[in-house]
Structure 1
Amino acid sequence: MNNSNIDKATYEKIQDGLHGLKEMTRKLEQKQELKIWSDISVPITIKDALTRLSKDELSAIRKRFEIKNASQLKKGELVELLSMKIPSLLETICLNMDEDGYGLVKEIIRNGGYIVEPKLTAHQLEYLRNSGMFFTGMYEGKKILAMPEEIVKNQFFQGNDKQFESIFRRNTEWIKLTQGLLYYYGTLSIDELVDLLNKYIDEPLSVSNYLLVMEHASSYYKQIRMDFIGFSNIRVFDQEKVKREHQMRKDSEFFPFSREQLLEAGEPEYVERNDSYLQFVNFITNNYEISRKEADVIVEECVYATNIGESPSHILQFLQSRIELQSTDMLKACMEEITNLMINSRKWFLKGFTTKELSAVEQKSFGLLTDRKNIVDSKTRKKIGRNDPCPCGSNVKYKRCCGR
């Protein structure tokens, strides 16, 4: 048997294995879907709602509320305990909500205890199910999100709107500002976040309350990640690298965004589409049979590649995997678009600055020579050649970046 036969046999085994894995994943997802949307009756008591859950799901709710000395309870005993505890914890639960979360609660109450076909993502439904307040199921052939009678009719929700309105507004502001900061800066320590947030809010940040609210937001919106380093945008996969890059620029401040810019960037799925971004999208749609939506996705991924430190050549390789670059002229034109995008896109590594902006700041701060023929690196004090990597950190040649 020759090598090509062995390779083919190995390839077929791998393909069979992948097919089996996909099939197993599909069946697990199907099983979970049936479980989430099993038949339910409404109105429903909290005891009946909890009884529908598995012991593991009940234990997850118990752990979320940090109810101690209950790990050994049987399912029926745990149902009884949670039925008693959850209504008394409503204030604790709701005080960590934002305006959208509390708005969902009020909508369900107005509709008599449930809403039909909730427009929520899978992870949002999972988060709500783990709260002990919300339950999913099929009612009269439709998917519903319901709350038990004891919660719907609870005194906490009778006339407390005005009292807690400011708290929900504050929580919403905290969440959006944090998501906006991380959209532009990538990763921040808790101390950095506190210092930055205090510049945009009216009252000093209550760190303990803030962390509880952000724990809710990170699970519900899936826009940020919390770990021992601090907080990160969900798409940052190497937090330590981002922090190292920040440390290399410790003499540079974070880019001073306006409050409005951060609130806008704090919206889920936000993408900053500046002139260079839109120019690249137009370039693709003008030269290829491709929808604007598809072109937008391609350019968004190019910006992400820039954010994680990919070189222009790697971004060009990615582009070649999505569109055909048949001629040398088209290859050069695409590289021009990539370079333009890279030097005008805000970067995590550059503390939210674009390459051009940071270069201007550094030239002003360090007194770099203005003669283009004698530009020196502010750190090494060595003369920069036109084909050398630009010292701003863009990964682009100096002549195509700040040396233009």
Structure 2
Amino acid sequence: MLDNKALEATNIQHAIIGDAMSSLPDILHNLTKTRLAALASVYKVPGRSKMKKGELADKLLECITDKEVLKSTLLMARAEEWKLFKSFVEEAVVQDNYVPYGYYAYWLDHGLVISYFSDSKLYLLVPDEVKSVYAELEASSFRSVLDRYQLVFRYISAAANFYGAIKPDKLVEIFNEQNEEEITVQELTSFYEQFSGRDQLFRMYRGYLIVEDLVYSDDAAEFKRLLKSMKGKSYYVPEKDELLKYSNGLYYEMTPQLTALRSYIIKELCQDADIVDDLIDVIQLDCSLESPIQEIMHEFKIRKIEFDSLEQVQMVTYLVTEAYNHTRLASNGGYTPLERRAISKELESGYRPAVPPFRAQVKNQVISKKIGRNDPCPCGSGLKYKKCCGK
């Protein structure tokens, strides 16, 4: 996250230097030809390359205050952008040097929010004419349309993040089970096409809605691997409120097992909460990706968190294994390894933890001596400690 100094510098870079003005005609006619050309490009103004500065300003005034154009622009806003826009509409002007640029860049690019920098202060406002058109929209059925757009967007984002890849008809089934106002596959596809007018973290690929980074190579190996691992498996469907939390790509369930791992690290290995929280984020991600235990243990070394004994390594390995066993995996259709094993009726009597692919098994004996570099690695890899987790 950027610090305040960096946030301020970014905001100033994109602000107009001078006193704030709220009249859109005045604003547009005072912009540089370069900035007008950028706005004209966003609105795809025909013949813009041949227009003079005044002509561009007048044409942009028509575009920006067109009710249908404004409606389309508003519908494509993301939740954090929308929240900020509403707060700006309710005020004559907002003074905040440290507002995150990413939250209002979309509005700035469309001329719906203007920023000024004067006397070492950043001012942000919605032009008067935009407020008037927006008020007309609010008086109509726009609010219900916006709510539906945002709900469908959150479902698409959440499903892509949670499942990795999902067929549109399955997502429609989930949506309709959790909402009174149902949706069809055709409607979902139409929404997706509109959302695709902006860069998104999801995309349609070979008939699946997928998280964007699932296809990062020409051979789409990760996508194929996921489909193969999912073949014949059912989907775990969280409750609506829980599922929609995954529309935030950084969200994950903080399970009791992750909490126990964090508590142990804080108590025994590192008292810096910020470092430990960052480590837990990475461990959870590694578990969800089914990464080797060596990669997870290397994260401790990166953060200069050292183990004093094999007992500590043994305990951390056990706790990581528990975290993995309770991690919801895309390869399991959202089920945890333990849940999937139960569904497959592979468990015998009594409690048997699912063994993660990274072979996180350790012996049960309590070892208190320091780990020697030539000792067998307690992760169970069969390698010496110096060749494995001690690298």
TM bucket normalised to smaller: 0.7 to 0.9
Change (3 A) 1:55 1:313: farther
Instruction: Name the residue aligned to 2:296.
Output: 315
Residue 128 (structure 1) aligns with:
107
Q: Is the 8 A contact 2:168 2:188 kept in 1?
A: no
Question: Who is 1:90 aligned against?
Answer: 70
1:226 aligned onto 2:188: no
> What is the match of residue 286 of structure 2?
305
Q: Structure 1 residues 68 and 396, CA, compared in 2 at 3 Å: closer, same or farther?
A: same
Give the total of aligned pairs. 346
Alpha carbons 1:186, 1:242 under 8 Å: kept = no
Once residues 200 and 47 of structure 1 are traced to their aligned partners in structure 2, the CA distance between those partners, rounded to angstroms, is 46
Paired AA for residue 315 in structure 1: I
Deviation readout 1:153-198 (Å, 9 max, x if unpaired): 33x4147346322223223322333333233213445555445434
Q: Which residue of 2 aligns with 1:145?
A: 124
Q: CA deviation at 1:215?
A: 4.2
Structure 2, unaligned stretches of length 5 or more?
1-5, 363-391
CA RMSD of aligned residues (A): 3.7
CA distance in 1: counterparts of 2:117 and 2:260, whole angstroms? 47
1:338-379 per-residue CA deviation (whole Å, 9 max, x = no partner) reads 21211211122322121111122223xxxx58489xx9xxxx
Is it true that 1:36 corresponds to 2:17 in the alignment? no
1:37-94: CA deviation from partner (whole Å, max 9, x where unpaired): 3324333332443456565654443344344443454554433321221111222223
Deviations, residues 289-335 of structure 1 (Å, cap 9, x unaligned): 42334312211111112223421121111222221123222222221
Quote the Cα distance in structure 2 between the aligned partners of 1:128 and 1:235: 26
User: Counterpart of 2:153?
Assistant: 175
Cα distance in structure 2, aligned partners of 1:101 and 1:31: 20
In the TM superposition, what whole-angstrom CA distance separates every residue of 1:218-242 from its partner, at most 9, and x where no partner exists? 65xx7x3436566554775748444
Structure-1 residue corresponding to 2:240: 259
Question: How has the CA–CA distance of structure 1 residues 358 and 73 changed in structure 2, closer, same or farther, with 3 Å as cutoff?
Answer: farther
Structure 1 residue runs without a partner (length 5+): 1-27, 376-385
Contact 2:81–2:106 (CA under 8 A) maintained in structure 1? no
Greater shift after overlay, 290-299 or 80-89?
290-299
> Are 2:327 and 1:349 equivalent residues in the alignment?
no
State the one-letter code of the partner of 1:176: R
| Shift of residue 259, structure 1, vs aligned partner | 0.9
> What is the DSSP-based 3-state SS (H/G/I as helix, E as strand, rest coil) of the residue aligned with 1:290?
coil
Q: TM-score, normalised by structure 2?
A: 0.74
Over the matched positions of the two proteins, sequence identity in percent amounts to 15
86, 95, 111: which one aligns with 1:116:
95
CA gap of 1:281–1:398, structure 2 versus 1, over 3 A, is closer
TM-score in terms of structure 1 length = 0.72
Preserved CA contact (<8 Å) 1:178 1:197: no
**Residue 164 of structure 1: aligned partner:** 142
Residue aligning to 1:395: 357
8 Å Cα contact 2:160-2:210 kept in structure 1? yes
On the 8 A contact 1:98/1:168 being kept in 2, the answer is no
Q: Describe the SS at the equivalent of 1:153.
A: helix
CA distance in 1, matches of 2:121, 2:273: 35
Match for residue 286 of structure 1? 267
Could you tell me which residue of structure 2 aligns to residue 22 of structure 1?
Answer: none
Q: 2:340 aligns with which of 358, 361, 369?
A: 358
Match of 2:381 in 1: none
Q: 1:45 aligns with which of 9, 23, 28?
A: 23
Q: Distance in 1 between matches of 2:65 and 2:361?
A: 66
Residues 395, 143 of structure 1: CA spacing in aligned structure 2 closer, same or farther, 3 A cutoff? same
Q: Which residue of 1 aligns with 2:365?
A: none
2:328 aligned counterpart, secondary structure = coil
CA distance in 1, matches of 2:173, 2:42: 29
Q: Describe the SS at the equivalent of 1:330.
A: helix
Find the residue that maps to 1:349 and give its secondary structure.
Answer: helix
Equivalence for 2:59: 81
